Structures are given as structure tokens and as C-alpha cells.
Structure 1
Amino acid sequence: MDGDVKMTETSAIFAYLGRKHNLCGSTEEARIRNDMIYSVTTSNRSAFVFMCYNKEHEKMKGPFLESLGGRLEQYSQSLGKRDFFGGSELVYADFCVYDLLDIWNQFEPGCVEKHENLKAYLARIEAIPSIKKFLESEAGMKKGPFNNKIAQWGNQTL
């Protein structure tokens, strides 16, 4: 809820907040990059969540970890030498990517380490004053739970 605005659906909420806070990209290229990386991140999150909630989680973990390097490489290549996925400007997809990379790094510690640009990217996001303040708070230091209690992984505070 935002005043008289009542919404459901994560994608619609992200797009609304992105427009409201000028986080969709100021150029057509930045808007296209935002849309693409948001879409890729939604797909990657869905695959990860499917594995986390699946009763065959342990069987699925190996294949997921085998694919994780390629997924991270895709993000690394897409980011390239840019500061953010929108180029020099922050876009709402950056928050989605940050969240997913952080969760993956909890799932498979150190998985981001071989991608210097992704490590620097995570540090840039964490240096945003409001995010830095949150991460230094008691709530921000707590890791998890990432999923509901019925999940096979990420259902408890780490």
C-alpha cells in the first residue's frame, strides 16, 4: 500500500516503485537493461526457490551448484565494467540482483569470489547510505530466513 495505491504481484510493485523513485533508467538503454536483468533475475530466483522448496532438494542441489557458475558468469558479463546494471545509474533491478547474489552467497559461501566486478558491485550497493545503515543495524546483520518454514533450505536464521 502506498496511499490510495493498493497492489499485488511482485513485478508490478517493483515497476511501480521504480517509476515513483526514478529507478527505471533515464535512457532507453538503461531501461532496456533494467527490464532484461530484472527478467533474468526473476527466472534465476524461481529456479532457486523451486530447488529450496522441493522435497528432492538434496538431489537437486548438485545440478543447481553446477549451473551456478554459469549463472554468475552471465551476471558478470552483463555488468561488465559498469557500476550498476543500468550503467552509471542505479535501477530497481540492481536491488533484485543484489538480494539474489547475497542469498546465493549464503547458500554457497564464496561463490561470487572469482568475479571481481560482482564483488565490487555488491560493495557499491552496500555503500549506499540507507543500505549501509540498514546492514549495520541489528535487523541487517541477521541472515535469513530466506524462505518460508516449509522450505528445505533457507527456512531458518543462519
Structure 2
Amino acid sequence: MTLTVHHLGISQSERVVWLCEELGIDYEFKRYDRRADNRLAPDELKALHPAGMAPVIQDGDLTLAESGAICEYIDRKYGAEKHCPRPDNPDFADHLFWFHYTNGTFMTNGMMQLMLSMADPQNPMPGGFVADRTAKAWSQVEQRLGEAEFFGGSQLTLADIMMVYCLTTARMMRETTLDDVPNTKAYLKRISERPAYQRMWAKCEPGMEPNLT
């Protein structure tokens, strides 16, 4: 039985590859380029799962989508929950918060902001509710990374695997910098020095530099 990770270039499926590299497990890696006409996933990747988007994994007869679900599945099945603190661990609640905050709030804010900017090109940073929520989210991230070495606390957890994409690759769509968040910038430097992260990046985005500044 072979675990296969399907990665779409410049997408959140990098999370899954990074986790596999951190765990040091055997897996088959398949990379797909975005379509030239609309920058979306090619039909062969969309056909793998009804969600029609990356990431997708196949593990025997199982085909699974959704990055959070995939990361938890892989860590539980292949990693003995190495990146999921147990309830008796003092980092348990922080890990849970940031793991779910990533796509539930932080990434949602960014996507809303991006969509509003595309709807009104003359206003790339829309004011009001969305901008306020986004600013608060970044402030919360900066505060957290001034308090702890990792989002989940004292060690790398799935919370970090999920959040780093939002702070790096996802920013390419909005062209934002990290000039005003030194704790976040220092954190990403530490992450970028991890051999597993470097191996992931070389596989996922060959020839491109990670967005760390």
C-alpha cells in the first residue's frame, strides 16, 4: 500500500508534503502545474476527488481531500500523533486553537480581502470589517510568536504545518511584506532552516524561492 500525495503548484498542498518530510515516511509525490488559462488545477487533479481541488491524497482505497483532515490523518496513522499534543500536554489547547484558527479564521480573512480587492482594483486594501479582522489576526499571530517558539507551544505541531503556508506562499497573492512583524519574520527564518521544510520546498516549487520576507 502506497501513500500518494498530489500537489498542485503554489498551493496549500505543500502542507501535506512538509508533514510527510518531517515524519520521514515513504510516500509517492505527484506534482501538477496550474492551467495557463485560469491558473486553476488541471482536470486530471480535479477528477481525483469531488472537491475538485488540492490537496488530495490516496492511501490504498482511500482518497481524501482537505488539508487539515489530511494532515491529521497522516500524523495519526503514520506518525503516532507526533505532531498532535495529547490532552495532558500543557500545549494541547494552544495547538488545537491554532490548528483550527488557520483555515477557520486566518485564511478566510485573507481570502475575503483578496476577493474584495479583485472586485475593486482601485481599492487593494478594502476598509471596514474585513480589513479590521485581518489586521487583528496578524496582530494575534505576531503576539503568539513573541510568546512561544511555535504556534502549538514548545514543539512543532500540526498548527505550524497549517499556519506557515498562510504566512508565506499565500502572501504571494496579496504582495504583503513582513516588515512590521519581526516575531513572525524570525519564526519563518527558523522554519526555513528545518531540513524537512527545505526538502518540501525543493519538491513542491523547484526553482522558486520561498516567500519569507
Tell me the TM-score normalised to structure 2 length: 0.55
Q: Partner amino acid for 1:82?
A: A
In proportion to residue count, which structure has more strand? 2
Provide the secondary structure at the position in 1 that maps to 2:126.
Answer: helix
In proportion to residue count, which structure has more helix? 1
1:6-155 equivalences in 2 (<5 Å): 6-20=63-77, 21=79, 22-26=82-86, 27-42=88-103, 43-53=105-115, 56-58=119-121, 59=123, 61-63=125-127, 64=130, 67-103=133-169, 105-106=171-172, 107-110=174-177, 112-135=178-201, 139-142=205-208
1:51, 1:57 within 8 Å by CA — same for their partners in 2? no
In the alignment, the residues of structure 1 paired with residue 61 and residue 142 of structure 2 have an alpha-carbon distance, to the nearest angstrom, of 39
How far off its partner does 1:102 sit?
Answer: 0.9
In the alignment, the residues of structure 2 paired with residue 77 and residue 124 of structure 1 have an alpha-carbon distance, to the nearest angstrom, of 17
- Count of residue pairs the alignment pairs up: 143
Runs of 4+ in structure 1 off by over 4 angstroms are 64-67
Identity %: 23
How far off its partner does 1:57 sit?
Answer: 4.9
| Runs of 5+ consecutive residues of structure 2 not aligned to the other structure | 1-57
User: What's the RMSD between the two structures over aligned residues?
Assistant: 2.9
Q: Partner amino acid for 2:109?
A: A
Provide the secondary structure at the position in 2 that maps to 1:15.
Answer: helix
Tell me the TM-score normalised to structure 1 length: 0.71
- Structure showing greater Rg: 2
Does the C-alpha gap of structure 1 residues 99 and 57 become closer, same or farther in structure 2, counting only changes over 3 Å? farther
Does the C-alpha gap of structure 1 residues 57 and 38 become closer, same or farther in structure 2, counting only changes over 3 Å? farther
